[in-house]
Amino acid sequence: MTLEEQVSLLAGVDHWCTTPVPRLNIPSLKVTDGPSGARGVGTLVGSKPTAAFPVGIALGSTWNKALLREIGVHLARETLDKGAAVLLAPTMNLFRSALNGRNFESYSEDPYLTGALGVAYVQGLQSSGVAATVKHFVGNESEFERSTISSDIPERALRELYLRPFEMAVREGGAWAVMTGYNRLNGTYCSQSPRLLGDILRDEWSFSGLVMSDWGGTHSAGASVRAGLDLEMPGPAKARATLLTEALKDEETRKAVRVAAKNVLRLIERTGMLTRPLDVSGEAERATEYPDTRSLIRRAGAEGAVLLKNNAVCGAPLLPLPAGVTVAVIGPNAAVAQVMGGGSSQLNAHRRVSPLEGLRDALGEANVSHAVGTFNNRYLPILQTPIHIEYLGQEGEVLATEIRLGSEVMWGILPAGIAADSFRARLTLTLIVPEEGTYDLSLFSAGLSRLSVQGKEVIDNWTTWQPGETYFGFGSDEIRERVSLDSGTYVVVVDFTPKVHDNGIAAFSAVRIGFQQPSPPTDFEDAVKLAGQADFAVVCVGTNSDWETEGIDRQGLTLPGDQDALVSAVLSANPRTVVLLQTGGPVLMPWLDDAPAVLQGWFPGQEAGHALADVLLGHVDPGGRLPQTFPARLSDDPTHPELPDVQYPGSAGHVEYQEGLYIGYRHIDRHALTPLFPFGHGLSYTTFSLGEVQVTTHEFRLDEALQVTVPVTNTGVRAGQTVIQLYVSSPDSRMARPWKELQAFEKVSLNPGETQDVLLELNFRSFAYFDDIQNVWVADPGEIHLLIGESSADARKLVTIRIMTQI
């Protein structure tokens, strides 16, 4: 290859594809977002339909490695249907803070659980020839100033917590690609850190795959290539626009370009694209819905649901709901299917089944009543109506037109001849007002916009535009106006033009029009009354993709709006009430003492309503166990706004990981706190007992493997699942360590009366810590406690062994 051809491979040709080299028959390699589906080239709201899988935290709740591997296989098929051979997934960052807006994408607060599930996901995906891209490497644990902030992480915490899942995905999973984080790590951008990409990833872990930047996350030409960043995305090259010139002048840069080009070619070869290149055009993307994938998503959604509480009412546990009863389904998340979070993981799901639909399908429509009671949306909902877009020239002439569905538009591929950074557009939709009354209209945009109704300007977001929290920080905040309208039809027009941002990231253009009639005061009371008239009530509360999204962090742990008041009122009206929570992380529950049953449903993918109904009605056992500690109060979280800003969310361009090793349950143990619900917690519809634990040796030498066998018996009358968790405690360690650390787990499914021996395997790394003085992994000789149970607060079995030698 010529040097020019080599350089061309090191930046994308467009938003999703690498640059082809026609002379040598080297095709474009197409990538697609991940991690909960394969979106294709479309925008976050305008892509072709595709399968929506449970989000990361819901999959983390399954604690099921075999299931994650199976999901990886199905995601590979979805990816290939979109003409892509690389999926930008899985997300391997940890839950350092409960307020991270992107926690829903990741698996867990624990590095071993995250790594083990990530390994399975990677292996399943790559078994079908689709590359996994483990991200965001490393230290992207919040969204605050994520493009520039320096995550200042102590070495032991970096090695033992934040790097470990990536290490497992690379060394055990064999990941073919890694995506660097936007952030800096201890002062240096991850995308150009020689230590991170060279010393650790390449040399220590023997990574032979491709390293790509996050979108717009490349900050230099030759320096980033020399550091070990192979591919700048998206393209065409921006940070690397001068790379060829630099390479012609500098031999070291030329050598680095050659290595990076080989890494790009190796990924094209590994995915089979040299011999069977895919059609990477958006027109060739398929939107096939597969019955076996739909079934898998339903099963996975149910297996990730966590039964937090299930007290007896009239002598029997409230759940599962009995047959032949009437159920009132109440709340803002009842008839609206919350299947995913917001941001780059968004996609156009084949289906969106709500809890109301799922329960009506299972119980019959006549047995299920419904009321909303209150709203929980952060922004006014969009209108599902056609919107006509005209692209205008300098004199107002129409250059091109298109029609899209829905009152939110994100621009990706524009009509031919329309400049992405300077176009003008006029968007027109017809608003149907069913009855005379007061309504709310809203507008926000990444770009300048203004909205008029029947020719009269209502919202000016053009002359008064200010940056806000929408659209990854490129958009304004929402502007709302209340208008009085008669019944009938109205023409709504929005004028739009891009706003170019000088921040090193490609311009982003989008606009959203919201519309809603304010809720009458009687809605709350009517919902409570309806709940009291049914045999059982299911109150569906939580958040949605407005609140849980890439680009901004959560504002607290309280449910939005007056949902807590709705839950309390429904509990007072009907003692047989189940609280169904759908959030991307923990929330406070001031009504918990009064609630007999609480089910955490997360965002479980397109079959949400069916999966949750399966659990509520006892068709399947609730298979989920918490992958994240639910703190009793925000101040019990290891990082929260009451602490110095430099620890969270950050100050003066730095966020200091002052808590070190102590996040999640490690923090709970260190400070002797009582969580709302502990890490690993989850109830079943049956009960289990653990027998006598056996180990292959009580005198362990670190060049061997240790096998731990735990007999588990289903002592109830129903089939069910549990997760056997093994934590290691090292009281004789030379350096300070958390009181216990998860080092092995297995999920087991048992019929009534059945017993199974569960095998847990440990090795040197299960007992080791990172000695940041000697820069080596160490396991000190001495006593080790193996704590075995069904949650981090349940160490019902204790086995003591002794490490005999140090290596």
Catalytic residues: 214
The Cα–Cα gap between 339 and 632 comes to 26
- Residue 186 CB neighbours (<10 A): 17
CA-based max dimension of the chain: 84
Cβ(310)–Cβ(596) under 8 Å?
Answer: yes
Which amino acid, residue 614? Answer: D
Per-residue b or e along 113-139, where b marks 16 or more CB atoms closer than 10 Å to that residue's CB? bbbbbbbbbbbbbbebbbbbbbbbbbb
- 172 burial (CB, 10 Å; 0-12 / 13-18 / 19+) is middle
Contacts of 9 (CB under 8 A, 6+ apart): 18, 19, 21, 26, 231, 260, 261, 264, 265
The full length of the chain comes to 807
Sign of the four-CA dihedral 597, 545, 665, 110: positive
The Cα–Cα gap between 419 and 399 comes to 11
Side-chain half-sphere exposure of 750, counting CA atoms within 13 A: 27
> Quick one: which of 449, 514, 512 has its CA closest to 481?
514
The Cα–Cα gap between 662 and 740 comes to 11
- Residue 751 CB neighbours (<10 A): 11
Cβ(578)–Cβ(536) under 8 Å?
Answer: yes
Contacts of 632 (CB under 8 A, 6+ apart): 588, 673, 674, 675, 676
> Quick one: which of 211, 245, 215 has its CA closest to 225?
211
Enter the tokens of residue 607: 């079959």
| Cα dist from 394 to 371, 397, 416, 594, 730, whole Å | 50, 7, 16, 64, 72
The Cα–Cα gap between 217 and 55 comes to 24
Check residue 743 and report its DSSP letter: E
Provide the H-helix boundaries in 277-412.
291-304, 355-363
Q: Strands, E, within 86-140: which ranges?
A: 86-88, 131-137
The Cα–Cα gap between 28 and 31 comes to 10
Check residue 605 and report its DSSP letter: -
The Cα–Cα gap between 353 and 345 comes to 19
Cβ(455)–Cβ(428) under 8 Å?
Answer: no
Per-residue b or e along 49-82, where b marks 16 or more CB atoms closer than 10 Å to that residue's CB? bbbbbbbbbbbbbbbbbebbbbbbbbbbbbbbbb
Cβ(439)–Cβ(380) under 8 Å?
Answer: no
> Quick one: which of 574, 563, 524, 600 has its CA closest to 371?
524
Enter the tokens of residue 207: 């990574």
Contacts of 322 (CB under 8 A, 6+ apart): none
Contacts of 355 (CB under 8 A, 6+ apart): 329, 333, 334, 337, 538, 540, 580, 601, 608, 609, 612, 613
Q: Strands, E, within 296-434: which ranges?
A: 306-310, 312-313, 316-317, 327-330, 368-371, 386-392, 398-405, 408-410, 424-433
Cβ(608)–Cβ(341) under 8 Å?
Answer: no
Enter the tokens of residue 677: 């619900």
